[in-house]
Amino acid sequence: MTIDYDVVIIGGTLAGRYAAWSATQFKARVALVEPNVSQEPIKNSIKNYTFTQTSKFLQKLSNLPGFGIDALCSETKELSETKEQCQILWDWDLATLYADGIFTNTHQQLSLTMLAAQGVDVVTDKGQFQISPNLSFVVKDRSLRSRSYLLATGANPAIPDIEGLGTVGYVTSLNIWDLFIKSQSTPPRNWTILGGLPQSIEIAQILVRLNCQVTLILEHPYIFSQLDPEIALLILAELEAEGVRILQETVVTQVRQIDGKKWLQAGDKAIETDEIVVATAQQPNIESLNLAAVGVKWYQNRLLVNKKLQTTNHKIYACGDVMGGYSFGNIANYEARIALKNALFFPISKVNYRSIPWGISSQPAIAQVGLTEPQAKRRHSPKEIIVLKQYFKTLTKAQVQDEITGICKLIIRPNGEILGASILGKSAGEIINIIALAIAKKIRIKELSSLSAIYPSYSEILVQTAQMWEREKLNRNTGLKDFLENFFHFRRSWKI
């Protein structure tokens, strides 16, 4: 069989485009098949971040007197009276145009035009695998033959099987802001969000800051399982403080429309709402690829892959949320790098998520890397785990910017090895990168405690937390404490 390509990437996501660009840097011959050129999932993540930041700004406008700006408040009533006033000033068309512009600017390098200029054979159509006479990916009448293939088709919201939901109607994270644009004169005021995906937090905060009534329904007692439990409780408390009604361990059994209103049966409660947001799970985009015919297996919403990111057909690899799980761009790109190396060269590289951080664009922001406290205690003896905590209220910059809600947790071993970190607070996504590097390079906690962070800055929280290690180490070593006390007592008795 004649081999046309070194790798064929079935994309539709930024991770797929990133993999195609990376393959050209290795001088490989690559084809990129995009069955869906829409980048709405990525655009919507940028919209969520942009709208969250903007809603926080509008929220602070109502508190301008607290910053000593009474004159502006008295002269500009439309900016200061209530959150309702702030909502009137929100132009959804301009806000969306701004977010789309950010997407275009930041991802220009990975546009299809630029990839084609780099030598990528771009095919914008649907296709499917076939195994006879040889494994190939067929797009219309064209058969793309390659030594390996990479699935990077992403995922879309999975819709739960709830009686009446399809009839009554709903929105997802992909089209919620389109609804606001279409009906901004009279947007829905009462919202119910089903599920605890990361997008749920972001959407709930944006809506409640626009003076909407928001109910968040969680089937489990936690917001999502990978998050440190203490951080999860704090972010739920923050949502409730902002006005979000949260129902935990509650299952929605049916949805109905009565007198023009949508009603949900949630546990033993009947909830009236104007609109329903579904954010319960992700469904991989694999329906039309004919994977079963080429021996690729999946279970529920997850592709079966090994640590080399090979599917059950070892010539076919996968990366990103097409494999299942949450959607984080940096993790998808990391997986794309591992899968691509294995696909192009020898399959020896394995994924290791221990030093790969992830975050949520909530306010306060959430970021995490490595093991959480419960995970560390399950993997190691609880006596071998030390948890260091410091709060953002101790930071000068947090006080000045009124961003004092936050906590930094470091999980370490007695020898100073860093096992993980969880951060809730302003700039958490920036701070976590330092810890991720420390874990990846096996830098001990004492090295972080010796950093001299710029004052004032949010990075100080990391140094302050790390410096607690020295105190903890001293408290555990009674012999050293006695020695130091005796030493300084003896030193004070010296005659100068």
The response to whether 81 counts as a known ligand-binding position is no
pLDDT of residue 67 exceeding 60, the answer is no
Give the list of residues 6+ apart from residue 326 with CB closer than 8 angstroms, or none. 197, 198, 224, 226, 282, 358
**Domain pair 7-39+107-156+283-351 / 355-479, same fold:** no
pLDDT of residue 108 exceeding 90, the answer is no
Give the pLDDT confidence score for residue 39 in this predicted structure.
Answer: 61
Token pair of 246, please? Answer: 């949260």
Burial 364-395 (b: 16+ CB within 10 A, else e): bbbbbbbbbbeebbeeeeeeebbebebbbeeb
pLDDT of residue 53 exceeding 80, the answer is no
pLDDT of residue 221 exceeding 90, the answer is no
Burial class (CB in 10 A: 0-12, 13-18, 19+), 418: buried
On whether the 355-479 domain is CATH 3.30.390.30, my answer is yes
Mean pLDDT of all residues in the chain?
A: 87
Give the pLDDT confidence score for residue 66 in this predicted structure.
Answer: 53
Residue 265 backbone class (left: φ over 0; alpha: ψ -120 to 50; beta: rest): beta
Going by C-alpha positions, the residue among 444, 439, 420 that lies closest to residue 370 is: 420
pLDDT of residue 456 exceeding 90, the answer is yes
Going by C-alpha positions, the residue among 174, 231, 229 that lies closest to residue 199 is: 174
Give the pLDDT confidence score for residue 330 in this predicted structure.
Answer: 93
The response to whether 370 counts as a known ligand-binding position is no
Cα–Cα dist 149/136, whole Å? 9
106 pLDDT band, cuts 50/70/90, is confident
72 pLDDT band, cuts 50/70/90, is very low
Token pair of 481, please? Answer: 């404490």
Mapping DSSP onto H, E and C, the string for the chain reads CCCCECEEEECCCHHHHHHHHHHHHCCCCEEEECCCCCCHHHHHHHHHHHHHHHHHHHHHHCCHHHHCCHHHHHHCHHHHCCHHHHHHCCCHHHHHHHHHHHHHHHCHHHCHHHHHHCCCEEECCCCEEECCCCCEEEECCEEECECCEEECCCEEEECCCCECHHHHCCEECCCHHHHHHHCCCCCCCEEEEECCCHHHHHHHHHHHHCCCEEEEECCCCCCCCCCCHHHHHHHHHHHHHHCCEEECCCCEEEEEEECCEEEEEECCEEEEECEEEECCEEEECCCCCCCHHHCCCEECCEECCCCCCECCCCCEEECHHHHCCCCCHHHHHHHHHHHHHHHHCCCCCCCCHHHCCEEECCCCCEEEEECCHHHHHHHCCHHHCEEEEEEHHHCHHHHHCCCCCCEEEEEECCCCCEEEEEEECCCHHHHHHHHHHHHHCCCCHHHHHCCCCCCCCCCHHHHHHHHHHHHHHHHHCHHHHHHHHHHHHHHHCCCC
The response to whether 197 counts as a known ligand-binding position is yes
pLDDT of residue 357 exceeding 60, the answer is yes
pLDDT over 90 for what percent of the chain? 61
Give the pLDDT confidence score for residue 222 in this predicted structure.
Answer: 84
CATH superfamily to which 7-39+107-156+283-351 belongs: FAD/NAD(P)-binding domain (3.50.50.60)
The response to whether 154 counts as a known ligand-binding position is no
27 pLDDT band, cuts 50/70/90, is very high
Give the pLDDT confidence score for residue 77 in this predicted structure.
Answer: 46
233 pLDDT band, cuts 50/70/90, is very high
The response to whether 200 counts as a known ligand-binding position is yes
Of the two residues 337 and 53, the one the predictor is more confident about is 337
Q: What is the pLDDT of residues 385-407, one digit of tens each?
A: 999 999 999 999 999 999 999 99
Strands 418-424 and 366-370: antiparallel
pTM above the 0.85 mark? yes
CATH topology of domain 158-280: FAD/NAD(P)-binding domain (3.50.50)
87 pLDDT band, cuts 50/70/90, is very low
Average pLDDT over residues 351-367: 94
The response to whether 196 counts as a known ligand-binding position is yes
The response to whether 157 counts as a known ligand-binding position is no
Of the two residues 21 and 382, the one the predictor is more confident about is 21
Give the pLDDT confidence score for residue 41 in this predicted structure.
Answer: 63
pLDDT of residue 258 exceeding 70, the answer is yes
Give the pLDDT confidence score for residue 496 in this predicted structure.
Answer: 63
Give the pLDDT confidence score for residue 261 in this predicted structure.
Answer: 86
Which of 33-47, 166-180, 400-414, 478-492 reaches the highest mean pLDDT? 400-414
Least confident of 163-167, 170-174, 348-352, 408-412: 170-174
Burial 177-194 (b: 16+ CB within 10 A, else e): beebeeeeeebbebbbbb
The response to whether 259 counts as a known ligand-binding position is no
Least confident of 187-196, 319-328, 425-434: 319-328
Spell out the domain ranges in the chain.
Answer: 7-39+107-156+283-351, 158-280, 355-479
pLDDT of residue 329 exceeding 60, the answer is yes
Cα–Cα dist 142/33, whole Å? 12
